Amino acid sequence: MKPMLPSLTFKIPEGEDWLYEVKYDGFRAILHWGKEIALESRNGKPLLDLFPEIRAFLEANKHIFEPFLPFSLDGELVFLENAYKAHFGRIQVRGRMRSERRIAEKAASSPCHLLLFDALILKGRNLVTNDYLSRKLELSAFFKQCGLPLQPDEKNNQLVQFLPYFNDFQSIWEKVVLYDGEGIVAKQEKNKWEEGKRTSLWLKYKNWKYVSCFITAYEKSNGYFYAGVYEDEKIYSIGQFIFGLKPDEKKALFQTMKDNKTDEDRQFIYVEPAICVELKYLEIYEEQMREPHFHQFRFDLKPESCTMDQFIQQQKNLPPDIEITHPDKPLWKVPSVQKMEFIYYLREISPYMLPFLKDRLLTVIRYPHGIFGEPFYQKNCPEYAPDFVKTKMAEGINYIVCNELKTLLWLGNQLAFEYHIPFQTMNSDGPSEIVFDLDPPSRDALPLAIKAALLIKEVLDHLELVSFIKTSGNKGLQIYIPLPENTYSYEDTRLFTSFIAEYLVSRDPDSFTIERMKKNRGTRLYVDYIQHAEGKTIIAPYSARGTKEATVAAPLYWEEVNEKLTMDLFQIPSLFKRIKSIGDPFQTFFEVKEKQKFTPVLDFLKTKNQTK
């Protein structure tokens, strides 16, 4: 069975009859399960031997799937990088593997996921003549009854997941751009599934990146034009293209190159850098552009302006209306971080940082001269802020509310290094989380914070409270307990924070104190339970800090909280690589909020206080 295929479009398909799915870069796969399990590629090739983790998951859950057999389900086999993006390179490597040992190792250490988006046969019923929406609803019901994930989740070990649809293009497109996904597939609500057909009822709209470059050569055998940019005054080849050129454009470009050639051999016509063009492509893979398309001629550009630095900047997909001033300005010395590198950090970390800034009244610390000069706090939004920067008045202060990428990058251009947020959103009547700030007297005393954190973790585990931990990025550690919105007061949470603080002091009075006066603390760690209050703030997860080492308030896995932990493990140049390597330790933070079993703990503490 060959799959139905979408057609490429460069125009956003919008209207009431269009529904949208995130497009993932993987292997198209149809799952058949009758007497045997089979997973076939779009060309009918078997895939289960290459991806034994999918077979193992299906067989281990046969009892769940049996009531729905036989079925045929359409989907995409992917290596999920995040909820909106699959890693093209990783799935390609898996697809080329032939060693059973290496395949088994990768299946165990880096399993792929099967994202299913269409039901062709279910319980033996042929659904291909049903319209798209009814097929989608049947598939959704199947996933709900099986207890399988209803959306892609790279950390979920349930390897078969549902790929949902969305009604609103703009909201899901913003997520795709934010997470650097491949694009969107728009599907007409009433379409029927047509085997092997490339249809205009399914349209793929891609998240292109753009590059300004110049033409260097023409290949006679296939008609491809070669493009390059300057790197240190040398020409660096970025790939070749042919698609996107109209016949008259291709003819004119070829003739211009022929008339101005500097050399010619049996394979190529060569020219000096002179003709500038803008290309669009998906990403860089093996040092070449993937799916390059001609976009337009750039007669306004000179070849000297087409540089590797600009190429790298354009890869980051920064919003077009964000201007980065003085990109080469040094901000940190060791490690060396220039302004543009800091902006890139904010762009890359934004999917993980923005959820914690969302709907919070923001206080930033700006470093107009980088780490080399004096910083200042900023609460009020400056009058020169662009119109897209949202604000909220509170107690006479016009706070910035950073809900989207453009605002974050604008703040970055203003050299806002630190992002401090209150313990509640502006829509909450009480705290959105409890945070313990474990602040040792010096950096050298970090082991005290580690000791306190592990003692607190023991109590939290005993109370069945789910907790998360991060570095402060400066001296200490911070423990988070997510709470459901509009459920508890600060008076409620103070009962708990004071209880934990008193417990720590009772366990080890030589190490911990609740003494407010610094001069009376000595070398002990101050457990500041009073700081968790309305109007107080804490450094946001993934925010940079104004330290000379360019450290970050980095989320941790609890197993990382040990004697090997140091602040300089988490610096701006390496933080995003860390996420790509081991994932986001705060990934499930917001899911936990509604499941948190805090009420029984609070009821116990209230009863205990009443009996004193």
Number of neighbours of residue 268 by Cβ within 10 angstroms: 17
23 assigned to active site: yes
Phi/psi for 477 (5° steps) reads -125, 155
User: What is the rounded CA–CA span in Å between residue 70 and residue 210?
Assistant: 46
Phi/psi for 27 (5° steps) reads -110, 120
The H-or-E segment that residue 211 falls in is strand 209-219
The per-type count for the chain, helices as H runs and strands as E runs, is: 15, 36
Dihedral over alpha carbons 190, 193, 194, 197 (to 10 degrees)? 90
Question: Helix or strand or coil: residue 515?
Answer: coil
User: What is the rounded CA–CA span in Å between residue 327 and residue 471?
Assistant: 28
- Strand runs labelled E in 408-562: 416-422, 433-439, 468-471, 477-482, 512-513, 525-527, 537-539, 555-556
DSSP track, 369-429: EEETS--EEE-BPPTT--TT-EEEEETTEEEEE--SHHHHHHHHHTTEEEEEEESS-TT-S
Whole-angstrom Cα Rg for the chain: 28
Question: Helix or strand or coil: residue 359?
Answer: coil
Residue 368: cis peptide before it, omega within 30 degrees of 0: no
Which of 558-567's residues contact partners 24+ apart within 8 Å by CB, and which partners? Answer: 558/457, 558/467, 558/469, 561/450, 561/453, 561/454, 561/457, 561/469, 561/477, 562/450, 563/447, 563/450, 565/446, 565/450, 565/471, 566/446, 567/443, 567/446, 567/471, 567/473, 567/474, 567/475
The distance from CA 516 to its chain's CA centroid, rounded to whole angstroms, is 40
Residues whose CB falls within 8 Å of the CB of residue 374, separated by 6 or more in sequence, listed in order: none
CA angle 126, 129, 130 (to 5 degrees): 95
What end-to-end distance do the CA atoms of the chain give, in Å?
73
Nearest to 545 by CA among 537, 556, 553: 553
User: What is the rounded CA–CA span in Å between residue 323 and residue 326?
Assistant: 10
Distances in Å between the Cα of 376 and the Cα atoms of 365, 412, 415 are: 6, 14, 11
Say which amino acid occupies 91. I
Residue 600: cis peptide before it, omega within 30 degrees of 0: no
Q: Which string of b and e fits 112-141 if b means at least 16 CB within 10 Å?
A: bbbbbbbbbbbeeeebbebebbebbebbee
For residue 337, the number of C-alpha atoms closer than 13 Å in the C-beta half-sphere is 28
Number of neighbours of residue 523 by Cβ within 10 angstroms: 13
Catalytic residue among 2, 11, 23, 62: 23
Q: What amino acid positions are annotated as catalytic residues?
A: 23
